[in-house]
């Protein structure tokens, strides 16, 4: 594997004894066992302490305040959910209980809205507020849920989750007909078992996949999926940039390298080489790829060359944002990562989310750069 070369500590004006060499994402190839995927189905570190009381609604957007009230009521109602005939199943769901009575109507809530209006904050708050022990609640992104099915198999995933009170799915975006059928079937079985559902997305349930696929059977699956949810529309501007200063302009390679050497636990990678490495690591392992990192330093940021690589970068951006890992970068600003064609295509919502999150992390990394 080709590894990018960086200026040595001495060449960068650094004390090679005082400053340990930074880590490299390109040198990591983590293995993630299935039990870790299950154990990590909890709100990410960024949302450990969020609650409904810590959500700050925009006074100009009444839908935000309304959403808090609806979700608080939904959480309170979960006290009786799955209580009738529901019995906790083991890791693989062994042990049978009576089939719970499932209330008529939607068994979940669906938070739709733009980027950065606090949907994940509210979803995590719901998870925390739900009156059930953590082992009976699951929280993960749509990608993480499909990865869990890939690791455990469909039937074992059903058995693992069917004893839960609540399943929260963040960033629910269906870009592939196969995933649509898979998740629709999975959620249908979980609803039948009495599991309550909550999800976020930038797309209304009845319009999931719009602009990507028009096959009749795909659209039928979408409609069936939307019947499980009550939709809450949350309006507003991106809170990640609301009233905040502009993200810093890209730094020089030397400034990025100095920041990496001066920050314990930082990684330092050449951006084109990192993109190449991401192609060799399954996205389900990107969380483990970032384990222990205190900062990510990137040199020579360039436009992403193709859609496959771009989608992998989106997942990495999500994992870095979840873990509150600041980013310091040289090259192009993050709003120029994706081509106009990409930003106008079917995955545009994902790309705009990645730009928003990477920009926020770049702002967080500003204090790591030493000013001369």
In order along its 372 residues, the chain shows pLDDT tens digits of: 444 444 444 444 544 434 579 999 999 999 888 888 888 899 999 899 999 999 999 899 999 999 999 999 999 998 754 443 344 444 334 344 445 454 455 678 988 887 778 899 999 999 999 999 999 999 998 888 988 998 899 999 999 999 999 999 998 876 667 787 888 889 989 999 999 999 887 665 666 655 444 445 555 666 777 777 888 888 887 665 555 556 789 999 999 999 999 999 999 999 999 999 999 998 889 999 999 999 999 999 999 999 999 999 999 999 999 999 999 999 999 999 999 999 988 788 889 889 989 999 999 999 999 765
Fold entry, domain 25-30+241-368: Rossmann fold (3.40.50)
Specify the DSSP element, H or E, that contains 307.
Answer: helix 307-322
- C-beta of residue 221 within 8 angstroms of C-beta of residue 332: no
pTM score, two decimals? 0.77
* Whether the domain at 25-30+241-368 and the domain at 34-234 fall into the same CATH topology: yes
Specify the DSSP element, H or E, that contains 165.
Answer: none
| Cα distance between residue 352 and residue 350, in whole Å | 6
> Which of the 8 DSSP states describes residue 134?
G
Domain ranges of the chain: 25-30+241-368, 34-234
Residue in this structure with the two tokens 């996949």, named with its chain if needed: 209
- C-beta of residue 260 within 8 angstroms of C-beta of residue 302: no
CATH superfamily of 34-234: P-loop containing nucleotide triphosphate hydrolases (3.40.50.300)
Neighbours of 314 (CB within 10 A): 26
Give the three-class secondary structure for 277: helix
Please enumerate in sequence order all residues whose Cβ is within 8 A of that of 366, keeping only pairs 6 or more positions apart, or say none: 248
């Amino acid at each position: 594997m080709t590894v990018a070369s960086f200026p040595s500590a001495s060449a960068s004006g650094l004390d090679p004894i005082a400053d340990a060499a930074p880590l490299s994402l390109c040198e990591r190839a983590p293995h993630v066992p299935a039990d870790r995927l299950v154990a990590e189905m909890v709100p990410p570190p960024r949302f450990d302490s969020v609650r409904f009381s810590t959500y700050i609604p925009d006074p100009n957007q009444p839908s935000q305040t309304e959403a808090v009230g609806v979700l608080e009521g939904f959480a309170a109602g979960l006290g009786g959910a799955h209580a009738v005939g529901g019995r906790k199943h083991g890791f693989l769901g062994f042990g049978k209980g009576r089939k719970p009575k499932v209330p008529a109507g939607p068994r979940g809530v669906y938070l739709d809205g733009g980027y950065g209006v606090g949907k994940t904050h509210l979803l995590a708050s719901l998870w925390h507020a739900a009156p059930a022990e953590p082992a009976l609640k699951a929280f993960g992104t749509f990608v993480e849920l499909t990865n869990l099915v890939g690791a455990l198999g469909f039937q074992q995933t059903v058995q693992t989750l069917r004893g839960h009170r609540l399943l929260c799915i963040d960033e629910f975006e269906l870009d592939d007909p196969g995933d649509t059928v898979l998740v629709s079937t999975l959620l249908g079985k979980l609803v039948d078992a009495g599991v309550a559902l909550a999800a976020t997305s930038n797309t209304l349930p009845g319009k999931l996949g719009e602009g990507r696929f028009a096959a009749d059977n795909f659209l039928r699956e979408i409609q069936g999926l939307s019947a499980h949810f009550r939709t809450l529309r949350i309006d507003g501007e991106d809170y990640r940039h609301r009233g905040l200063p502009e993200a810093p302009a890209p730094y020089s390679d030397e400034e990025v390298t100095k920041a990496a050497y001066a920050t314990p636990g930082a990684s330092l990678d050449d951006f084109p080489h990192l993109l190449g490495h991401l192609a060799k690591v399954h996205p389900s392992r990107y969380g483990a790829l970032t384990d222990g990192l205190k900062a990510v330093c990137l040199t020579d940021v360039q436009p992403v060359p193709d859609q496959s690589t771009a989608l992998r970068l989106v997942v990495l951006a999500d994992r870095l944002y979840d873990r509150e890992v600041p980013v310091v970068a040289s090259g192009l600003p993050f709003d120029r990562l994706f081509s106009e064609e990409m930003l106008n295509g079917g995955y545009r919502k994902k790309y705009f989310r990645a730009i928003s999150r990477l920009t926020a992390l770049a702002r967080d990394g500003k204090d790591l750069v030493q000013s001369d």
